[in-house]
Amino acid sequence: MGGKKYVSEHPIFSVTADLVVLTIRAGRLCVLLVRRGGEPFRGALALPGGFVEEDEDLVTAAHRELEEEAGVGPDDVELEQLATYGDPDRDPRGRVVTVAWVVLAAEVPEPTAGSDAAEAMWLPVDEVLDGRHGPLAFDHRVILSDGLERARAKIEYTGLAAAFCRREFTVGELRRVYEAVWGGGRELDPANFQRKVLGIEGFLKPTGNMRRDGRGRPSRTYTADRAARLMPPMTRP
Amino acid sequence: MGGKKYVSEHPIFSVTADLVVLTIRAGRLCVLLVRRGGEPFRGALALPGGFVEEDEDLVTAAHRELEEEAGVGPDDVELEQLATYGDPDRDPRGRVVTVAWVVLAAEVPEPTAGSDAAEAMWLPVDEVLDGRHGPLAFDHRVILSDGLERARAKIEYTGLAAAFCRREFTVGELRRVYEAVWGGGRELDPANFQRKVLGIEGFLKPTGNMRRDGRGRPSRTYTADRAARLMPPMTRP
DNA sequence: GCAAAAGTGTTGAGAGTACACCCATGT
DNA sequence: ACATGGGTGTACTCTCAACACTTTTGC
């Protein structure tokens, strides 16, 4: 971004894509954050993101930032538009409107590997939201909060919880996804959970394989069967 | 918008607010559309909307356009952000990103009254979507389609169906709202509907008044009791 | 009286919940 | 043997849909 200038007769907006990338690590729901290296908010934590380029579609920009900042390719990831934030004062550098996206990630490539940002890290969302790691830059706390609520609602009536798992997964792994995302330390009854998910048409497709995890009886594995809408939905306790 | 120019070092975007304004007329779900007077898409139908101004919040811009193009003030209307559309080719005039909003309106001021647009009209959404009134400008068909689905989903688990009614309304009027929005000619059982809505905590608040509509037994009236989330939700048949 | 809309009663099917209990593995 | 997690059975509750039936108005 050197000498190139742009001129317009309408008020000028810059448009950015910001990402709420969620994953599960050690049973806890975590979000990908970067430490800002420049002003404004130097040193504060922020959501990964960046400017949308000329002739670039919004969803393409989101995927590009995801690749650049987290090293996650366009496959094996669920990316959904969250909302757009455009308060005139949200960025001290000028009029910047940001389109925010929610990303549900399964594989956890250690973030610094292949990353653009000097410091990228996974932090538990509850710790971030209660301020334990300091305030977030810009209005990113609101965006994170909205993204979290979106993810919580979305896994109720879609099969997207499977996006947090590896391609092939067990019912127990899926249950721990629901427990982590819905939070609150609530545990779901394994017996009822099993019957419920297997009873939902088009949610899970058996692979015929088994998985031995060391302790306990081996379990059957499944892949996601992409039904757009779960009928009946999963219900938050 | 005359000689004023703007300069930037980032790619230039213009930002617009487009509105999917829904209401119920004669038992049918209708959307507010304007006939375009200028290029591009001259003569085609389009969603009402316009450019977001400098130093104007996004939601403020949406409310302003709603006032200008439909004569609807900020009170007695439900306005919710839908999504943002930014394909590089969606507007032949340049790089225009639009933030779309869904508006649920109760009062139906005849649109041309107090309106900016030369021609504004209410048309049944099903007729518009099946192309009976010609193609919509830009990507407005997709936006309308998304907005419709949002409204259908939203009245399941929030009390927003009441936003389609006058301040004081009957259970029968509310039932006809659900029938019109969910569409498909399905009729809901009046008896079960009554028990269901009255059983939802915080949905309806009795006024103590009655309404005589000419035919049939008079009915009690209610006002919305703004519970954020209906528990249990209404279920689409 | 008759039609139309509001509102109540009743009943049977299905879904969710709690919890007992069996199965298959590692240590 | 026993702990651990997978998986099945069962019984109770609650909700929902269907539909018969009563109430109160206008014509």
Examine residue A237 and state whether it is found in any structural domain, yes or no.
no
Q: What is the CATH number of the domain that holds A71?
A: 3.90.79.10
- A9 inside 8 A of chain B by CB: yes
Residue in A1, A12, A83 closest to B6 by CB: A12
For residue B152, the chain A residues in CB contact (below 8 A) are none
Distance CA A158, CA B83 (A): 19
Q: Do residue B38 and residue B116 come from a single domain?
A: yes
What tens digit of pLDDT does each residue of B63-121 get?
Answer: 999 998 888 888 878 999 999 999 999 999 999 999 999 999 997 766 654 555 558 89
Examine residue B64 and state whether it is found in any structural domain, yes or no.
yes
What is the length of chain B?
A: 237
Across chain A, mean pLDDT equals 91
Examine residue A161 and state whether it is found in any structural domain, yes or no.
no
Which residue has better confidence, A138 or B117?
A138
Q: Do residue A99 and residue A26 come from a single domain?
A: yes
At residue B193, the pLDDT reads: 98
At residue A36, the pLDDT reads: 93
Q: Structural domain of residue A59, as residue ranges?
A: 14-156
Can you tell me the mean pLDDT for A6-24? 89
Residue of B nearest to A82 (CA): B83
Tokens of B49: 């909307």
Tokens of B147: 């907005």
Q: Do residue A68 and residue A114 come from a single domain?
A: yes
The CA radius of gyration of chain A, in Å to the nearest whole number, is 19
Q: Do residue B109 and residue B177 come from a single domain?
A: no
- Give the count of domains, chain B: 2
- B215 inside 8 A of chain A by CB: no
* Angstroms from A84 CA to nearest CA on chain B: 7
Strand partners, B31: B22, B123
pLDDT higher than 60, residue A3: no
Q: Strand C: which bases are under 7 Å from protein Cβ?
A: 3-9, 15-21, 23-27
Are residues B13 and A11, on separate chains, in Cβ contact within 8 Å? no
pLDDT higher than 50, residue A121: yes
pLDDT higher than 90, residue B197: yes
Q: Catalytic annotation on B39?
A: no
At residue A237, the pLDDT reads: 82
* Angstroms from A213 CA to nearest CA on chain B: 39
Examine residue B6 and state whether it is found in any structural domain, yes or no.
no
At residue A178, the pLDDT reads: 98
The model's confidence at residue A116, banded by pLDDT at 50, 70 and 90, is low
The model's confidence at residue A165, banded by pLDDT at 50, 70 and 90, is very high
Q: A102, A151 in Cβ contact below 8 A?
A: yes
Can you tell me the mean pLDDT for A176-185? 95
Residue in B7, B87, B95 closest to A7 by CB: B7
Q: What is the CATH number of the domain that holds B190?
A: 1.10.10.10
Helices (H), chain B: 58-70, 125-129, 140-157, 171-182, 190-199
Distance B70 CA to D27 C1' (A): 40
Examine residue A135 and state whether it is found in any structural domain, yes or no.
yes
What tens digit of pLDDT does each residue of A141-157 get?
Answer: 999 999 999 999 999 99
pLDDT higher than 50, residue A137: yes
Least confident of A77-86, A155-164, B48-57, B72-81: B72-81
pLDDT higher than 60, residue B124: yes
Can you tell me the mean pLDDT for B131-139? 98
Examine residue A2 and state whether it is found in any structural domain, yes or no.
no
Last residue of a domain, one of A121, A156, A191: A156
Q: Do residue B97 and residue B199 come from a single domain?
A: no
A-B CB pairs within 8 A amount to 107
At residue A4, the pLDDT reads: 58
Helices (H), B54-162: 58-70, 125-129, 140-157
pLDDT higher than 70, residue B5: no
Q: Do residue A123 and residue A209 come from a single domain?
A: no
Q: Do residue B45 and residue B78 come from a single domain?
A: yes
The model's confidence at residue A210, banded by pLDDT at 50, 70 and 90, is very high
> Cβ of A215 < 7 Å from strand D?
yes
Q: Do residue B39 and residue B97 come from a single domain?
A: yes
Distance CA B60, CA B67 (A): 11
> Cβ of A23 < 7 Å from strand D?
no
Q: Do residue A135 and residue A188 come from a single domain?
A: no
Taking the CA of residue B30 as centre, how many other CA atoms within 13 Å lie in the half-sphere pointing to its CB? 18
Last residue of a domain, one of B140, B170, B205: B140
Q: Do residue A111 and residue A215 come from a single domain?
A: no
Examine residue A111 and state whether it is found in any structural domain, yes or no.
yes
Q: Which residue is nearest to nucleotide C25 (CA to C1')?
A: A217
Are residues A57 and B88, on separate chains, in Cβ contact within 8 Å? yes
Q: Do residue A26 and residue A48 come from a single domain?
A: yes
Are residues A55 and B86, on separate chains, in Cβ contact within 8 Å? no
Examine residue A6 and state whether it is found in any structural domain, yes or no.
no
Helices (H), B90-235: 125-129, 140-157, 171-182, 190-199
Last residue of a domain, one of A131, A156, A181: A156
Q: Do residue A171 and residue A145 come from a single domain?
A: no
Give strand ranges (E) for chain A: 6-8, 14-25, 28-35, 45-46, 49-51, 77-85, 96-105, 120-124, 204-211, 219-224
pLDDT higher than 80, residue B61: yes
